[in-house]
Amino acid sequence: MDNRRIGVFGWGIVAPKAPNIEAFARRLETSESWLDPFQGFGPSNFLTGVPEFDFNAYREWIDARFPPNRFSALSKKMGHPTKYAIGAFIQALGQNPGLEQRLKELGGKAQVIVGGGLHDLPTYYDESLAFSRVQRVWDRFWSAPQNNSAHEGYLASREAPSDDMPDDPEQVDLVSRDVAEDAWWHYWAARSPQLQEYLGDLREIEAMSIEGDVESGKSALLRRKRAAVTALQKKWNAPDPPWSGVSPNVLWNIGNTPASQISMMGHITGMCYAPFAACSTFGYSLKLGMDAIRTGQAELVVVGATDPPPHAMSVGTFYNARVLSADGEVSKPLTGLRGTHVSGGSIVWIIGDLEACKARGFEPIGMEPVAVGVSADADHIITPSVEGPTNAIDAAFADAKIDASQIVQWDLHATATPGDFLEVDTIRKSLGPATVITARKGTFGHGMGAGGGWELTAQYLSTASGRVAPTTLTPEELNKEIAQVHDNFVYQESIAAPNGYAGKLSMGVGGINACVISRTLDAEES
C-alpha cells in the first residue's frame, strides 16, 4: 500500500433540520439542539432527530437521467435509508462538476461503500404487521368449522386430537384473548382437510412450466397461473394466502440496497458493498475507501452511511438497553449522563486520489483524511473498554506517522451516558490539555451509522471556515468529574480553528471502534 494522499471532492447530508449539506453548514453556526419531541408512541417524553427530507427535491435530477417511471418506482419501493442515501449522493456530485462523468468513466476503478447502523426498521415493521394481519385472517378462515371438518368433529365430540391443543380463546381473559386466538386458529388451520385439498390444487397450478419460446412463454405462463389461482380462490371463497401478504419491498430494502442504488444512480460499475459497524460505520467505510485508493484498486470511491428515521422500535430498543434519555429535555454529552437521543439520516462523501483528481481539475473540500485506525474491544456489547479505543487511536497515529502532540482538536463519540467519562479519560492518556475537544450529539442526536459522519463533516466544515462551530454545552453544565480530567471544550460560542491535525473517535455497539485523523488542506505532507 503506497502513501498517496486522499481528498474529499464531494459530500452530502440528510440530518435533523438539515435536508442538505448547505442547511447543515448553516445550522452548525448556532448552539441550538436540532431535536424534537418523538411522536411514534403518541405522547411521550422522548426527543429524537427526525430527518428533514423531501425526495421530490431530487426528481428533476433523476428524471433527466432515467426513464419517466424511475422516480415513481424509487418512491414506492425504496425505504427511507435508501432515499436519504440517494439524496446525499446527488448532493455530493454538486461540489465538483464533472465528478458524475468521471465516476462512470472509471469502470472498476470507482467503488461504492455505503453501509449503515440500523436496517430499514420502518419497512420491516410495516410489512411484519401486514403479514401478521394476513396470517391471522387466513388461519381464522381455515380453522372455522365450515372450512375444517376436523374442527367440526372436535366440536361435536369435544375429544382433543392431541395433548398440545392450545387453550380455547373463549376461556382466557380479555388481556390474553388476541394471543390465544392466534394460537387456536393456527392450530386448527394446520389440521384442516379442506386446506390440504386447497394446497393440492395450488401445487398443480404452481407446477405449470414454460412451454415453447422462453421469452413469450414466460408471460403466457404467468397469465395462466394468475387465472388459475383466481379461480381457486373463488372456488373456496378463501382470503389471500399469507405468502401473498408480504411486499417485495422487504427484499428491495436489504442492507446493501442504498449502496446498490447509488451505483445505479451514478452508473458506477466497480465494487459495491455495505459495511455495518454500528456507530463506527462511517469511519470503516472511509478506511475501506482510502485503502482501495492507496492500493490502486480505485481512483474515486463513494463512501457513507445511512439510517432510518427514529421509529418506535429503535427508540424502544435504545430505551430498554438503558442508553436513552426519556425526560423530555435535551441530554447533552459531558453533563448529566442521562442518555442519548435516536436520530436518522445519511452522510455520503466522494473521496479520491488527491493528486490524480486535482490534475483533472477537481478541488478538494474540507480537510484531508490522513488515516483511519480501527479495532474491536472483544469485551462487552455496550460498555466501551479502555484498550479497544486506545488501539484504534494508536493505529491511526501510526498510520498518519504523527504523535499525540500534533493533534490540535478532537471530536468525541460522547453519547451523554456514563461512558463519556471513560472516553475523556482514555483520550487524555493520549492527548495533552491544550487539545480542543468537541462533542456534538446534543446538537443532532445519535445517528447510529451516519452520526460519526455528521460529526466528522462538522469538524471539516469548521476547520475550513476557520471557526470551530459551537456545541450545546455550557461551562456550568460540564460534569464535574469530567472537568477534573479535561476542561478545554468548545461550548456555545465558536472559537478560532487551530491549524494542524484533528482526530475523531467513534465507538460502536459491540465494541467496534474507528479513529479518523485529518489535517488542514494546506498542511505539508510529513
DSSP string covering 285-337, please? HHHHHHHHHHTTS-SEEEEEEEEPPP-HHHHHHHHHTT-B--SSS---TTTT-
3-state secondary structure of 143: helix
Nearest to 114 by CA among 343, 281, 253: 281
Q: Is 263 exposed, middle or buried, given 0-12, 13-18 or 19+ CB atoms closer than 10 A?
A: buried
3 state DSSP class of 245 = coil
pLDDT of residue 382: 87
**Pairwise CA distance, residues 373 & 392, whole Å:** 5
Residue type, 257: T
Q: Provide the residue-wise pLDDT of the chain in tens; the chain has 526 residues.
A: 678 999 999 999 999 999 999 999 999 999 999 999 999 999 999 999 999 999 999 999 999 999 999 999 999 999 999 999 999 999 999 999 999 999 999 999 999 999 999 999 999 999 999 999 999 999 999 999 999 999 999 999 988 777 789 999 988 898 999 999 999 999 999 999 999 999 999 999 999 888 777 777 788 888 899 999 999 999 999 999 999 988 999 999 999 999 999 999 999 999 999 999 999 999 999 999 999 999 999 999 999 999 999 999 999 999 999 999 999 999 999 999 999 999 999 999 999 999 999 999 999 999 999 999 999 999 999 889 999 999 999 999 999 999 999 999 999 999 999 999 999 999 999 898 999 999 999 999 999 999 999 999 999 999 999 999 999 999 999 999 999 999 999 999 999 999 999 999 999 999 999 999 999 987 654 4
Cβ count within 10 A of residue 268: 25
Rounded-to-integer distance, Cα 335 and Cα 157, Å: 69
Residues 6+ apart with CB under 8 A from 171: none
Residues 295/77, Cβ–Cβ less than 8 Å: no
Cα 284 to Cα 278: distance, rounded to the nearest angstrom: 10
What are the structural domains of the chain? 6-120+253-520 (3.40.47.10), 124-244 (no CATH)
CA angle, 12 as apex, 520 and 332 as ends, to 5°?
Answer: 75
23: nearest Cα among 36, 33, 12, 32: 12
For strands 367-376 and 512-520, give the pairing: antiparallel
Letter string b/e over residues 156-188, b meaning 16 or more CB atoms within 10 A of that residue's CB: eeeeeeeeeebeebeebeeeeeeebbbbbbbbb
The DSSP 8-state label assigned to residue 170 in this structure reads G
Position 470 scores a pLDDT of 97
- Per the listing, cell 471530536 goes with 411
Report whether 19 contacts 55 (CB < 8 A): no
DSSP state of 99: H
Sign, CA dihedral 379-380-381-383, equals negative
**Among 421, 379, 400, CA closest to 509:** 379
CA atoms within 13 A on the CB side of 71: 15
From residue 423, alpha-carbon distances to 282, 388, 429, 485 in Å are 19, 11, 10, 11
- Separation of alpha carbons 313 and 395, rounded Å: 36
Please report where in the chains the cell 456555545 appears, as a residue.
492
CA distances from 491 to 77, 343, 442 (A): 43, 22, 11
Rg value, the chain, Cα: 28
Q: What value, to the nearest 5°, has the Cα angle with vertex 71 and ends 84 and 346? A: 5
In the chain, what's the furthest Cα-to-Cα distance? 90
In 3-state terms, what secondary structure has residue 252? helix
SS3 content of the chain, % helix, strand, coil (to 5): 45, 20, 35
Phi then psi dihedrals of residue 416, to 5 deg: 65, 30
Give the C-alpha separation, 15 to 51, whole Å.
5
CA angle 477, 479, 483 (to 5 degrees): 110
Cβ–Cβ < 8 Å for 439, 419:
no
DSSP string, 197-230: HHHHHHHHHHT----SSHHHHHHHHHHHHHHHHH
CB atoms within 10 A of CB 3: 9
Pairing mode, if any, of strands 300-307 and 345-353? antiparallel
